[in-house]
Structure 1
């Protein structure tokens, strides 16, 4: 082997050695970044509690998720909500979707307020001072003296949710609004006024 070939072979060997050291350093950096990301993820997740996406009970579509949410909510009401003297739940509270909705957001607000990383004492104070009493008041008003027997077929609480009144005229309002938001809304027709009157009388009969 000539001297020139020896020099070339030596240069290749050195280059391979340098690349090997760089790969090792890069591998160590990747492992360090992975560890850092794991620490960040752990910091963003409340201790002992998986993060929960903002979702509405009234818009629930996944049965398995709904079952999980209710189980979580029931455990929380027993552990936290029902410890307060003004917190009352009738036997039929599960038949009131508005009540579940109120309690569900209050439960999540409680989790955020006491989150070991993101929670703050002002949030905790707001939960105690404003959020919890407000929900307790609205839940009592929604349930009132209701009982489970009032949810059987033919009773007032067994009726389906009422449609939005005069909804068939929404297209007219939408077109007028997008055409000129500062213009007055279309003047109600005699037909629309008659429909509104019927709706008002029905509402009075239900109360």
Structure 2
């Protein structure tokens, strides 16, 4: 029995080398690389600014998280709700003309107590000028005194009161309201201590017939004016 022999090795595979062909391939490859490299640079020129912007926005997002904006918005919303509730609970406006007898009695009690226990004690000069023997008989003075009292409560007793409110009341509202109480336009101007003059004295009322005739003439004048304006406007759609 014969022993198998190892097959002879094959000669190495060789390709004929053409120097000119290799040179052309090299030049073509360099041209392609150069062309594509220009495109890469152009692409980088567009991409790099985007990368920078993304970095900026990323920093902003990080800063946004640090600022806790959503939590702050919720907190501000709660504060605003509280302010609204406080505004509704603030010192009400007194409308004497709309008060019931019981409401008017309560208002008079509050006002007179404040005048005697606060206004007289803290501002005697203003008290001497404004609180005459007949001030309560003058409705315009009662309105001003009520405003003086209610604005004092807003400045001094409100839970959100500030020194600015206090300063505003002292420097603005108090002197202004007291001056109106005793000024020439006040119905109390003709009164003196111990001598009251009815606020409704020497008030003349217009004659109803004359007033009615005037209103009719005025109405006709306005109708004529409106008709004249309508005639001067360009026709629509024609």
TM-score where L is the length of structure 1: 0.49
TM-score where L is the length of structure 2: 0.44
Structure of larger gyration radius: 2
